[in-house]
C-alpha cells in the first residue's frame, strides 16, 4: 500500500505553475487559431484556387465544324460520329495482375476483335512501353474510326478488356467521297511549326492533334468553318484518373462551357450537275472541267481528275495508300483547274480573233485563202487540215478552226496585240479562285520571248501563239472565265465557289457577292462576231462540233486540240504515241447562245481531239444543266406537298436527300432564282 508522507498539499503547491501551463497552452492554441485564420480566411481563396487546379481537369469539347452545302442546301461535307479505341496502361495492367497481363492477354484479344495489323499491334506495344509513371493513366489511341462490327465485338467482350475504352469523336465526312475533292479540300493534323506561327500571329484555339483545313474550301474558309471549342471540367484524383460520379465536388461551378459550332458554307456547286460532270469525265484519265455561271462568276461544277478521297486523306490514310497517291504519275493531288497550265490549242483562237478585230487587222469580211498552210520566210505553218479550207472569213475560220486564217492575222498584227487581248481576258495572272496555289499561265509577248527564247522574238512565234501553241499556257479556270466574259458581253468575273456563310441555324452571316475583275475593253459587236463564230462551230453544218449540238438549246463552243510535243513532218495516230505525248483535247462552250447562262470548259489531258474527246463531256454537262433547270422549274410550278426537311448533319444518307428544296421556307435559292436570269446562283 503506497504511503504518502509529509506535508503534502498535492496540486495546491503547483497551482501557479499549472496556471502558467494553462496560459501557455491557451496561447499556443491561439497561435494555431491565428495560423488557421491566415490559411483559411486570408489566403483561403488562393488555396481554393489551388485545390481546383488539383482536381479539376479541363478538357476541350471540340466545336462542330461547319458543313458545306451545295447551292440547293444539300449536304456535301458534314461531321459524322466516329469511334476510336483507346488503351489506358494503368487500367489495362492493374496492380495485382500477372506480369505482362496487358500485352500478352488483352492485346491479342483486342487485335482479333479489331483486326489489327502486326504493324498496328507493334505500335501499341511501343506506346505501352513508353508510358511510365503518371503517364500510365493517360489513354492513347489504339485504332481510329473503328467500324460498327468491330465495335459490337468489343462491346460483347467488354469485361475481359480491362483498360480499353471506346471514345466518340466527330469526324469530317465527305459524303460523296472523291466528288469535287479538290474544291472541298481535306483536313489533317496541324503541325508544331504551324502552331508556333499561329502563336506569333495571335491565332488562338489550336492545339497539337487538332485538324485544320488543307486545300480547297476547307483551307480557304478555315476560320469560318472552325467554331470555338468549349471546355468541360472533369474531376481527377491525385493520380490524374477521372473520377465518375464525383461531380458534386464541383459545387456550382459550370461543368461545361459549350462550344459554338462553325459556320456552314453554301457553295455555288450544284450536286447533280457536279455528279453529272464527274460521270461524264469517267472516260478520261486526267483533266479538268469547269462549269461557271457566266453572269456571276460562281462555279457550278468543277472536276479535277484524277482525284482522291478526302475521307482518306483526313487522317485515315495508310502509308501505302499515301505512297500510291504521291507516286502516281498523274499526280492526283494537283488541282488541274487552276494549279496547272496547258497549251489552249484552238480554244485560244477567240483571243486572236478579238485581238485582230480590235486592231482592225481583219474585219468581219476580210478573207484569207487557206491552202493547207501559211508560209512565212522559208518556213511553212501547217493548217490542221492538209487539204486547206479555201477562202475563209473570221466566221468560218472559227467554225472550221482554220489555222491559216489566224496565222495570217497574227502575221500582220504581231504577238503583242494578242498578248494585250489575252491580258484583257484575264490570262497571264492568277485567277483568284483561292482553292489551291494557282499558276498565272503564260501569255507570250515580244518582251517575253526576248527574255526566254534563244535568239529573242521572231515573227514566227506570233503564228504559233495565234493558235494557242508555242509558249501560250492557260489554266482551265482562266479559259472558262474568258469564255464567260465573251458570253456575258464583256464582264470578266473572278471565279468563286462559296455563295453564303450561314450560322448553324441557317441564318445568313455573310453573302459573297459576284466580283467583277473588270469590263473588257472590247467592242460589243466584236464579241458578237466571235460569238456568232462559236455558235457556228456547233450549230452550222461543217462546224467542228456540229455533231455535238443539242436539239433544244443553242450552244456556242470551240474545240481545241493542243499539241504537247513537236511532231515530225508526218502525222502519227494517237495510238502510236505514248500517253504523255498525246494531244490535249479541249472544249470551251457557253449556253444558251442567245441569253448565255453557263460556260463550260473541258480539258481532257492527253485525251486526243477536242471534238471527239472533250466536246461530249462538256455537252453532257450542258445538257444536264438544262435538264436540272427544267426539273426545278417544273417543281416550282407544282409545289411539293410538304416542306422539304431541313438538312441536318448526317441525318439521312445521301441517297435519300430531298430534291432541291423549292418551297418558300427553305429555298433560299429558289426565291432568288425568279429574280435572276440564271436560276441557279
Partner 1 sequence: MDLVAPGRSTARQLWRNIPWHILALALLIAALGVWNLASASRAAYAPIWKSQIYWLLIGLGACAGTMLLDYRYLLKLAYPIYGVVVLLLVAVLVRGHAAMGAQRWLDLGPVHLQPSELMKLAIILVVARFFHEDPHTKEGYSLLQLWLPALLLAVPVALVMKQPDLGTSMMIAAVAGSIILVAKVRWRSLLVLAAGFVASAVFAWAYLLKPYQKKRVLAFLDPEGDVLGAGYHASQSLIAVGSGQASGKGWGHGTQTQLSFLPEQHTDFVFSVWGEEHGFVGAVVLIGLYLVLLVMMLAVAASAREKFGSFLAVGVAAMVFWHVFVNIGMVTGLLPVVGVTLPLLSYGGSSVLTNMIGLGLLMNVAMRRHLF
Q: How far is the CB of 135 from partner 1 (least distance, A)?
A: 14
Assigned C-alpha cell, 551: 436539239
447 Cβ neighbours under 8 A, 6+ residues apart: none
Buried b (16+ CB within 10 A) or exposed e, 243-269: eeeeeeeeeeeeeeeebebbbbbbbbb
CB of residue 28 vs partner 1: minimum separation in angstroms?
A: 5
Shortest spacing between CB 225 and partner 1, in angstroms: 39
Q: At its nearest, how many Å lie between partner 1 and the CB of residue 140?
A: 23
Residue 91 beta carbon to partner 1: minimum distance, rounded to whole angstroms: 16
Residue 55 Cβ vs partner 1, minimum distance, rounded to whole Å: 5
The distance of closest approach from Cβ of residue 41 to partner 1 in the complex, given in angstroms and rounded to an integer, is 6
CA atoms within 13 A on the CB side of 630: 8
Complex with partner 1: residue 17 or 380, whichever CB lies closer = 17
Tell me if 365 sits within 8 A of 245, measured CB to CB: no
Tell me the closest approach of the beta carbon of residue 254 to partner 1, in angstroms: 16
In the bound state with partner 1, the residue whose beta carbon lies nearer, of 17 and 130, is: 17
| The C-alpha cell that represents 203 in the structure block | 491565332
356 exposure class (CB count in 10 Å sphere: 0-12, 13-18, 19+): buried
Least distance between partner 1 and beta carbon 300 (Å): 59
Instruction: Give the shortest CB-167-to-partner 1 separation in angstroms.
Output: 23
Given a contact cutoff of 8 angstroms between Cβ atoms, the answer to whether 587 and 610 are in contact is: yes
Nearest-CA neighbor of 88 among 157, 142, 25?
Answer: 142
Per the CB < 8 A criterion, the answer to whether 224 and 265 are in contact is yes
3-state DSSP of 368-382: EEECCEEEECCEEEE
Q: Which residues on neighbouring strands pair with residue 589, listed in sequence order? A: 557, 600
The CB-of-236 to partner 1 minimum distance in angstroms stands at: 7
> In whole angstroms, how close is the CB of 234 to partner 1 at the nearest point?
12
CB 273 within 8 Å of CB 300: yes
In the block, residue with C-alpha cell 469560318: 224
CB atoms within 10 A of CB 165: 14
Q: Which is nearer to partner 1, 29 or 228 (CB)?
A: 29
Q: Which is nearer to partner 1, 25 or 516 (CB)?
A: 25
Q: Which is nearer to partner 1, 5 or 207 (CB)?
A: 5
Phi then psi dihedrals of residue 364, to 5 deg: -65, -25
Q: Using DSSP, state whether 633 is helix, strand or coil.
A: helix
Any idea of the CA torsion for 580, 574, 546, 373, to the nearest 10 degrees?
100
3-class state of residue 305 by DSSP: strand
The residues, ordered by sequence, that sit 6+ positions from 283 with a Cβ below 8 Å of its Cβ are 617
Nearer CB in complex with partner 1: 96/653: 96
Cell of 680: 441557279
Q: Are 70 and 270 in contact (CB under 8 A)?
A: yes
Taking each helix axis from N to C end, the angle separating 349-359 and 415-424, rounded to the nearest 10 degrees, works out to 110
How does strand 68-69 pair with strand 264-267?
Answer: parallel
Query: At CA 598, angle to CA 595 and CA 604, rounded to 5?
Result: 135
Alpha-carbon torsion 452, 456, 462, 464, what sign? negative
515, 493 in Cβ contact below 8 A? yes
Q: Which is nearer to partner 1, 13 or 58 (CB)?
A: 13
Q: Quote the least distance from Cβ 171 to partner 1, whole Å.
A: 33
Question: CA 530, CA 352: separation in Å to the nearest integer?
Answer: 10
Closer residue to partner 1, CB minimum distance, 240 or 506? 240
- The CB-of-52 to partner 1 minimum distance in angstroms stands at 8
Closer residue to partner 1, CB minimum distance, 52 or 140: 52
Our CB check for partner 1 shows the closer of 8 and 569 to be 8
The residues of the shown chain that bind partner 1, judged by CB under 8 A, are 1-5, 8-15, 17-19, 21-22, 25-26, 28-29, 31-33, 35-37, 39-41, 43-48, 50-52, 54-55, 235-239, 243, 246, 248-249, 251
Helix or strand run (H / E) with residue 170: strand 164-174
Q: Which residue lies nearer to partner 1 by CB, 249 or 256? A: 249
Minimum distance of partner 1 from residue 21's CB (angstroms): 6
* Cell numbers for 368: 484569207
> 246 or 371, CB closer to partner 1?
246
Closest distance to partner 1 from the beta carbon of 165 (Å): 21
DSSP string, 248-291: GGGTTS-SEE--BPPPEEEES--HHHHHHHHHHGGG-SSEEEEE
Length of the chain: 681
Q: Please say which residue, 50 or 80, places its beta carbon nearer to partner 1.
A: 50
Residue 248 or residue 365: which is nearer to partner 1 going by CB?
248
Residue tagged 474568258 (cell numbers): 482
Give the integer Cα–Cα distance in Å for 266 and 659: 16
- H-assigned helices in 37-144: 44-55, 89-92, 107-114, 118-130
- Which is nearer to partner 1, 241 or 316 (by Cβ)? 241
**Min. distance of Cβ 56 from partner 1 in angstroms?**
8
Report d(CA 635, CA 259) in Å as an integer: 39
* Residue number with CB closer to partner 1 (8 or 95): 8
Amino acid at each position: 500500500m503506497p504511503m504518502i508522507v509529509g506535508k503534502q498539499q498535492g496540486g495546491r503547491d503547483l497551482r501557479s505553475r499549472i496556471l502558467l501551463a494553462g496560459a501557455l497552452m491557451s496561447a499556443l492554441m491561439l497561435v494555431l487559431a491565428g495560423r488557421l485564420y491566415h490559411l483559411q480566411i486570408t489566403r483561403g481563396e488562393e488555396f481554393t484556387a489551388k485545390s481546383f487546379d488539383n482536381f479539376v481537369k479541363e478538357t476541350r469539347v471540340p466545336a462542330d465544324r461547319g458543313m458545306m452545302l451545295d447551292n440547293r442546301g444539300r449536304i456535301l461535307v458534314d461531321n459524322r460520329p466516329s469511334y476510336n479505341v483507346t488503351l489506358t496502361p494503368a487500367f489495362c495492367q492493374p496492380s495485382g495482375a500477372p506480369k505482362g497481363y496487358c500485352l500478352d492477354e488483352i492485346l491479342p484479344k483486342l487485335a482479333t476483335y479489331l483486326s489489327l495489323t502486326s504493324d498496328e499491334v507493334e505500335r501499341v506495344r511501343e506506346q505501352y512501353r513508353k508510358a511510365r509513371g503518371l503517364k500510365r493513366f493517360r489513354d492513347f489511341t489504339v485504332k481510329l474510326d473503328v467500324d460498327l462490327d468491330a465495335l459490337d465485338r468489343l462491346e460483347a467482350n467488354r469485361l475481359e478488356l480491362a483498360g480499353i475504352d471506346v471514345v466518340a469523336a466527330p469526324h469530317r465526312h465527305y459524303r460523296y467521297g472523291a466528288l469535287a475533292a479538290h474544291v472541298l479540300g481535306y483536313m489533317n493534323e496541324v503541325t508544331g511549326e504551324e502552331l508556333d506561327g499561329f502563336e506569333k500571329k495571335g491565332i488562338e484555339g489550336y492545339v497539337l492533334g487538332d485538324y485544320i483545313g488543307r486545300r480547297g474550301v476547307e483551307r480557304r474558309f478555315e476560320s469560318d468553318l472552325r467554331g470555338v471549342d468549349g471546355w468541360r471540367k472533369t474531376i481527377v484524383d491525385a493520380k490524374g484518373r477521372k473520377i465518375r460520379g464525383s461531380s458534386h465536388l464541383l459545387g456550382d461551378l459550370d461543368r461545361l462551357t459549350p462550344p459554338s459550332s462553325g459556320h456552314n458554307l453554301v457553295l455555288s456547286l450544284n450536286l447533280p450537275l457536279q455528279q453529272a460532270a464527274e460521270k461524264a469525265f469517267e472516260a478520261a484519265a486526267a483533266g479538268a472541267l469547269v462549269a461557271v455561271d457566266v453572269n456571276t462568276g460562281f462555279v457550278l461544277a468543277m472536276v479535277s481528275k484524277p482525284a482522291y478521297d478526302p475521307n482518306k486523306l483526313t487522317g485515315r490514310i495508310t502509308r501505302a495508300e499515301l505512297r500510291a497517291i504521291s507516286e502516281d504519275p498523274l499526280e492526283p493531288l494537283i488541282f488541274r483547274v487552276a494549279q496547272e497550265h496547258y497549251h489552249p490549242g484552238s480554244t485560244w483562237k477567240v483571243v486572236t480573233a478579238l485581238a485582230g478585230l480590235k486592231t482592225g487587222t481583219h474585219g468581219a469580211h476580210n478573207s484569207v485563202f487557206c491552202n493547207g498552210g501559211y508560209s512565212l520566210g522559208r518556213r511553212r505553218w501547217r493548217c490542221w487540215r492538209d487539204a486547206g479550207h479555201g477562202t475563209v472569213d473570221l466566221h468560218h475560220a472559227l467554225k472550221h478552226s482554220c489555222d491559216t486564217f489566224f496565222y495570217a492575222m497574227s502575221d500582220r498584227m504581231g504577238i503583242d496585240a494578242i498578248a494585250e487581248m489575252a491580258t484583257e481576258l484575264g490570262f497571264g495572272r492568277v485567277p483568284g479562285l483561292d482553292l489551291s496555289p494557282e499558276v498565272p499561265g503564260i501569255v507570250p509577248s515580244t518582251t517575253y520571248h526576248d527574255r526566254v527564247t534563244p535568239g529573242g522574238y521572231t515573227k514566227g512565234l506570233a503564228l504559233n501563239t495565234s493558235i494557242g501553241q508555242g509558249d501560250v499556257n492557260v489554266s482551265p479556270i482562266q479559259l472558262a472565265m474568258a469564255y464567260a466574259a465573251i458570253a456575258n458581253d464583256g464582264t470578266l468575273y473572278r471565279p468563286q465557289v462559296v455563295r453564303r456563310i450561314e450560322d448553324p441555324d441557317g441564318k445568313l452571316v455573310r453573302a459573297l457577292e459576284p466580283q467583277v475583275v473588270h469590263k473588257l475593253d472590247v467592242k460589243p459587236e466584236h464579241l458578237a462576231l466571235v460569238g456568232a463564230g462559236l455558235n457556228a462551230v456547233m450549230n452550222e453544218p461543217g462546224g467542228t462540233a456540229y455533231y455535238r449540238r443539242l436539239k433544244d438549246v443553242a450552244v456556242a463552243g470551240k474545240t481545241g486540240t493542243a499539241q504537247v510535243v513537236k511532231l515530225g513532218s508526218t502525222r502519227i495516230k494517237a495510238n502510236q504515241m505514248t500517253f504523255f505525248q498525246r494531244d490535249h483535247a479541249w472544249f470551251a462552250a457557253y449556253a444558251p447562245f442567245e441569253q448565255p447562262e453557263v460556260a463550260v470548259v473541258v480539258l481532257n489531258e492527253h485525251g486526243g481531239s477536242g471534238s471527239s474527246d472533250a466536246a461530249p463531256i462538256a455537252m453532257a454537262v450542258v445538257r444536264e444543266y438544262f435538264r436540272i433547270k427544267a426539273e426545278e422549274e417544273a417543281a416550282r410550278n407544282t409545289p411539293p406537298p410538304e416542306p422539304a426537311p431541313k438538312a441536318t448533319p448526317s441525318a439521312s444518307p445521301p441517297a435519300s436527300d430531298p430534291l432541291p428544296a423549292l418551297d418558300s421556307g427553305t429555298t433560299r435559292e429558289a426565291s432568288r432564282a425568279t429574280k435572276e436570269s440564271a436560276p441557279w446562283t
